[in-house]
Amino acid sequence: MLRIGMLTSGGDCQALNAAMRGVVKCIYNNAKEPVEFYGFEDGYKGLIYSKFRMLTDKDFSGILTRGGTILGTSRVPFKTIREPDANGLDKVAAMKQNYYKLQLDCLVMLGGNGSTKTANLLSEEGLNVITLPKTIDNDLWGTDMTFGFQSAVDIATTAIDQIHTTASSHGRVFIVEIMGHKVGFLPLNAGMAGGADIILIPEIPYDINKVIDKIEERDAKGSRFTIIVAAEGAISKEDAKLSKKEYQKKLANYKFPSVSYEIADAISRKTGREVRVTVPGHVQRGGEPCPYDRVFASRLGAEAGEMILDKEFGYMVGYKNREMVKVPLKDVAGKLKTVDPNSDIIKEARMLGISFGD
């Protein structure tokens, strides 16, 4: 008997269900022994507090295209994982106990950066763990791609496309704020796909005067509008120079809902232009996965299934240089993948006339 536990952790994204279905289909089609799947509810919370259900074929039927996660998810920050909960429960010990109580052969964790740190901890504690790279941010180290990213790029691009028509009608400056946490892959790709004139990403701190120069350059050429895509983590050159403590102090007294409103305020004060901000927010994580993500997540799931059958544990399944790879969890944990300001895509975007406000 093979017993496999599964959980989805952190912010959800498209294709979580497709990836779980991939694992299950691979195992059902190739295992030489009976298999039981246990789904932990709401991420690591389910493993800590023993909230799980046995999953059958029916649970995985028809979910290739379904957004969200059939298991539910939650954020259990890694920095709190070693701290006892409100009732004094040792979370790590509880997770181990529940794993052993169910006699699991493996835990499959679908998650992003913080969740992978916890997975690595459990692996170091002796559990058999395999992870799949999930996040719309595409910021997991060790893989060129994460599932959810391409679907989010599609949605964010649609938002920018829609803004284009209204921006051109009114001759306004529009800022579309795109998710991505502290990295710029999503705003960069959606911005390029949506024909943004200015893209502001955390990896390239902006100078507001350079942003204005670009708007004025467009005005001078007779372009009636400017589309700015700002990463939710965009940062000015001045703020980038602040120490962590100084920056936190600034944020504590921050009068804007987010960075885009600060940028909008500076542009309209300095130029008198009418500026509007659009924040698509969690829409970017919602709905069904795009075809790329369905295929990619299914492939990752199949690879994970094969690794379980081969008893290879302690890895994240990744995708590097167009090949599926096994990346040791200890190498992934705690590392962030960011946009390289000197990468080809940035150079090419600049050659297309896109300003990064620097």
Beta pairing class for 129-133 and 315-320: parallel
**Min. distance of Cβ 323 from ligand F6P in angstroms?**
25
Beta-bridged to residue 203, according to DSSP, are none
List, in order, residues 6 or more apart from 347 with CB less than 8 Å away.
Answer: none
**CA 273 remoteness from chain centre:** 34
97: which 2 tokens? 């106990």
**Min. distance of Cβ 75 from ligand F6P in angstroms?**
6
Which CB atom, from 118 or from 355, has the smaller least distance to ligand F6P? 118
- Tell me if 111 sits within 8 A of 119, measured CB to CB: yes
Instruction: Give the interface with ligand F6P as residue ranges (CB under 6 A).
Output: 11, 75, 112, 135-137, 179-181, 232, 285
Beta-bridged to residue 107, according to DSSP, are 5, 129
Which CB atom, from 128 or from 284, has the smaller least distance to ligand F6P? 284
Give whole-number Cα distances, 171 to 18, 25, 276, 280, 290, in Å: 42, 52, 11, 21, 33
Which CB atom, from 133 or from 180, has the smaller least distance to ligand F6P? 180
**Min. distance of Cβ 106 from ligand F6P in angstroms?**
25
321: which 2 tokens? 């240089």
**Min. distance of Cβ 282 from ligand F6P in angstroms?**
6
Which CB atom, from 106 or from 279, has the smaller least distance to ligand F6P? 279
**Min. distance of Cβ 218 from ligand F6P in angstroms?**
29
Which CB atom, from 27 or from 231, has the smaller least distance to ligand F6P? 231
- Tell me if 179 sits within 8 A of 283, measured CB to CB: no
Q: How far apart are CA 145 and CA 141, in angstroms?
A: 9
Which CB atom, from 203 or from 232, has the smaller least distance to ligand F6P? 232
Instruction: Compute the half-sphere exposure of residue 223: CA atoms within 13 Å on the CB side of its CA.
Output: 14
Tell me what percent of the chain is helix, strand and coil, each rounded to the nearest 5: 45, 20, 40
**Min. distance of Cβ 136 from ligand F6P in angstroms?**
5
Query: Catalytic residue positions?
Result: 137
Residue ranges with strand state E in the chain:
2-8, 35-40, 52-55, 106-111, 129-133, 173-178, 198-200, 226-231, 275-278, 315-320, 323-328
Phi, psi for 206 (deg, rounded to 5): -100, 155
Which CB atom, from 25 or from 75, has the smaller least distance to ligand F6P? 75
Angle in degrees, CA 350, 207, 239, rounded to 5 = 125
Beta-bridged to residue 147, according to DSSP, are 134
**Min. distance of Cβ 284 from ligand F6P in angstroms?**
7
For 208-255, the DSSP string reads HHHHHHHHHHHHHTT---EEEEEETT--BHHHHHS-HHHHHHHHHT--
Rg of the Cα trace of the chain? 22
Residue nearest ligand F6P, CB atom distance: 179
